[in-house]
Amino acid sequence: MPQAFHNPTLAQMRGLAPKPSPKLTIDEWSNLEYEAIKRGDAGSTCAICHDPFGEDEQVILSCSHTFHRGCIASFEKFLRTKERTCPICRHASYQKKITSIGSFIKRQDSCTLIQKTIRRWRVKINFKTLLRAHYKSNDDTVNVGRKRDFYAGEISIVSDQIAAQVQASEDTIDSLFAEFDRNLTMSREVFNPELAAANAATRESNDLLRTKASSKDAKNENSNGLIKIKAWINILKRAEERGACECPICLSSYEENTSTDKAILSCSHTLHIKCVDAFEKFNIYEINLCPVCRAGPYQKKLVSDLQYYRANSENMNLNAI
């Protein structure tokens, strides 16, 4: 087993071998810890297990190398030589001491990370204010182009906020007037029984028309709610009877611009497929509305596909598609 520094052998006591070095003082241990911190060993990883020191117990040797306490204990347990040597520099008959420099550096790094995060958060919150103050100053270092782009973005944000408030006000006013109309109608029906009977008959007629329309739509749609091909062919026929010759979005003629496929909506209006895709991409409403008649939500098909189905209708079962 390796000999400890404070347990001299018989030869050392008889003067036949050099005596072990005396115990290091507190100041000497402090200097060794300072060397380990300066070299960067204390804040890195253990040379035996290659894991970060973290908050685990560490041991510093008299050669200023640091290890996990459990790692150096296992290393000494399975050491085959009679003399203890440092796993890194092979310094013989070392002394060791429990230290907390690794834990101190870990806590210091954690505090630095917390401070960095808080400062980043504060700068992120005050960034617009600082940037506005920077561009407001007439300093020569201010970039004119970036200043223009910044104020353009500010104006855009304010415009969007105003538009949202106006839209909310319009919706509120519309619902208020609708409520006024309902209350006024109910008041008139109370004092005029004939008007109440006429309004009731009108409501029944509208309900009947909506029921017929929904049943008709159910016949023209499959189980997934999509319009059947046979109904699409009738929609295409109505579009051809209308004789539209130009796209209502780009206003270019279908005959002149043959590179783009033509699409047809379920309301029978035709448009370029690229135009209607771009229109849907920049749509501000919750549902897609037809650019011409505002009907929605609509479905769309390629005119070329419907023309193919119509030309081969005799060989296909269109009721099943």
Tens-digit pLDDT profile for residues 47-84: 888 888 777 788 888 888 888 888 888 888 887 777 78
- Report which of 49, 53, 51 is spatially closest to residue 71, judged by C-alpha positions: 49
Query: Is the pLDDT reported for residue 297 higher than 90?
Result: no
Residue-level pLDDT at 2: 39
Residue-level pLDDT at 115: 93
Could you tell me the pTM of the whole model? Answer: 0.34
Residue-level pLDDT at 114: 93
Neighbour-count burial of 232, counting CB atoms closer than 10 A to its CB (0-12 exposed, 13-18 middle, 19+ buried): buried
If you average pLDDT over each of 129-143, 163-177, 228-242, which comes out highest?
A: 228-242
Dmax (CA) of the chain: 133
Neighbours of 95 (CB within 10 A): 21
Predicted confidence (pLDDT) per residue in 190-200, tens digit: 777 777 777 77
- Report which of 38, 98, 87, 99 is spatially closest to residue 63, judged by C-alpha positions: 87
Predicted confidence (pLDDT) per residue in 201-256, tens digit: 777 766 666 665 555 555 555 556 678 888 888 888 888 888 888 888 888 888 87
Lowest mean pLDDT across 124-133, 207-216, 266-275 = 207-216
Token pair listed for 75: 């290393």
Residue-level pLDDT at 55: 74
Written as one string, the DSSP assignment of 181-230 is: HHHHHHHHHHH-HHHHHHHHHHHHHHHHHHHHHHHHHHHHB-TTSPBPHH
Neighbours of 317 (CB within 10 A): 9
How high does pLDDT run on average in the chain? Answer: 79
Give the model's confidence band at 292: pLDDT under 50 very low, under 70 low, under 90 confident, else very high: confident
Cα–Cα distance list, 214 to 106, 173, 207, 218, 219 (Å): 70, 31, 10, 6, 9
**Distance, C-alpha 54 to centroid of its chain:** 32
Which residue type sits at 95? Q
Name the residue with higher pLDDT: 7 or 260: 260
